[in-house]
Chain A
Amino acid sequence: MALLKSLAARKDDLSSPANQLEFLSNGVFKKGKLPLFKDKIAQTNHFPLKPKKLEILQLNLGYMCNQVCSHCHVDAGPDRKEIMTKETMLQCLEVIRTTGAHTLDLTGGAPEMNPNFRWFVEEASKAGIKDFIVRSNLTIILANKKYHDLPEFFKKHKVHVVSSLPFYKRDKTDKQRGDGVFDKSIKALQMLNAVGYSQEGTGLKLDLVYNPSGAFLPTDQNLLENDFKVALKEDFNIDFNNLFAITNLPISRFLEYLIASENYEDYMYALVDAYNPTAVENVMCTNTISISWDGWLYDCDFNQMLELKVASKVKHISQYNEDLLNDRDIIISQHCYGCTAGAGSSCQGSVA
């Protein structure tokens, strides 16, 4: 079921990252029924977890969103006012111009709702980054007339669009993301195809993100991609490039759902059971830096939402120094099991 308000607006106990982290260290983990993530990765000599070469800069332009999805790890929604300012964007641009990373990844909330979004994309696209991703929730394109030309805008700046579509059928999509979301998403995908996305010879890439609509793990990414391709083509004549299967991490609103539906313990057992040491080597934090709307630096978007700033002398974009940052230990907790289950999970899908 889609929600009406964020945890923050409801002043729910779980809106506090400290409470979430405490919850994730109690219960089955405190009783020793399940191993702490730290102990689990230590068995294969992966503790402390260290970064490899930096490849991706992920910028969160703000937590405001036109949707209030029930699984959202950002706790995003129309009631969230945290938005990146132009000043912070200028600091980010400096970093983008000098970084060794080959990918720039803009996320949110709905990044398009940031009033300086277009200006920022124009400026950033001049920096010569190889892969420039915008994570779009699709419905934003139809949410207001002022967003209708986003497909053209993305095309103009050769943006690589990554969009979430939880399923290729209406009921599961709408249950997770809200009534009408499926039809709007389909329309938006058709608009993106119409300007050339995922069409031969255009070089314009459109990828989809699948995440399970409930307390279960995603199956094999290639099988899912195939199912999505066949269904979307047959039913709606939609093309896309790749599908990323992402595991829902037990934080924020998904954690709220797991607790309320009494699925929390089973879900944690499933994650720990599916632990894959190969996935640990490639978890997202090993090649990504996540930057929050207010310029703080994190190991990943999940740690950002848990307010776990990087364990480095450099903690803010204003002090940015890639060499120093790359020397840090990554901060981990039990939510990390979501990245290492099965084929692993990251913003680019499976990792193992």
Chain B
Amino acid sequence: MSKTYYDPADLRKFGNISEWNEELGAKFFDYYGKVFEEGALSAREKSLIALAVSHVVQCPYCIDAYTKDGLQRGIEKEEMMEAVHVGAAIKSGATLVHGVQMMNKYEKLSM
């Protein structure tokens, strides 16, 4: 057994999830593939969104995958870092906007 929760080599085995449920696995990978095709958004834009979201959901596999995908597409490191900041800004904003809830509750409970 591996001694860490995450092993970079496991990313290659992602497809194996279909072995225990072929139907749902196939549906997922089909959906996933379609999502990333050129559409109203370019595949390049989608790759940057995926990179930002990977950071927000803190998935090390996705971060590896979309950093590499970005390099392949000629996306530059400045663009990648800005995308990560967009993710971080939304995440911190989402935390901070709950401050309003705290303030509301505080006011409500206070005499």
Contact = CB atoms under 8 A, between A and B. Distances in A.
A227 interface: yes
Contacts of A212: 71-72
Contact of A216 (B8, B44, B72, B76): B72
Contact of B74 (A219, A266, A273): A219
B85 interface: no
A269 B73 CA distance: 19
B58 to A, nearest CB: 21
Contacts, number: 20
Chain A binding surface SS class = loop
Contacts of A106: none
B12 interface: yes
Nearest to B12: A269
A217 interface: yes
Nearest to A167: B74
A223 interface: yes
A318 to B, nearest CB: 44
Nearest to A227: B74
Interface in B69-107: 71-74, 76
B21 to A, nearest CB: 22
Contacts of A217: 72
A209 to B, nearest CB: 15
Contacts of B12: 269, 273
A277 interface: no
Contacts of A223: 44, 73
Nearest to A218: B72
A219 B76 contact: no
A287 to B, nearest CB: 27
B74 A216 contact: no
A217 B69 CA distance: 9
Contacts of B71: 212, 214, 216
B76 A169 contact: yes
A223 B69 CA distance: 14
Most buried by A among B68, B72, B76: B72
Nearest to B8: A266
A224 interface: yes
Nearest to B74: A227
Nearest to A214: B71
Interface string A256-283: 0000000000100100010000000000
Nearest to B73: A219
Interface of B: 8, 12, 44, 68, 71-74, 76
20 contacts: A167-B74, A169-B76, A212-B71, A212-B72, A214-B71, A216-B68, A216-B71, A216-B72, A217-B72, A218-B72, A219-B72, A219-B73, A219-B74, A223-B44, A223-B73, A224-B74, A227-B74, A266-B8, A269-B12, A273-B12
Given A216-B72, A217-B72, 5 more contacts: A212-B71, A216-B71, A219-B74, A266-B8, A269-B12
Interface of A: 167, 169, 212, 214, 216-219, 223-224, 227, 266, 269, 273
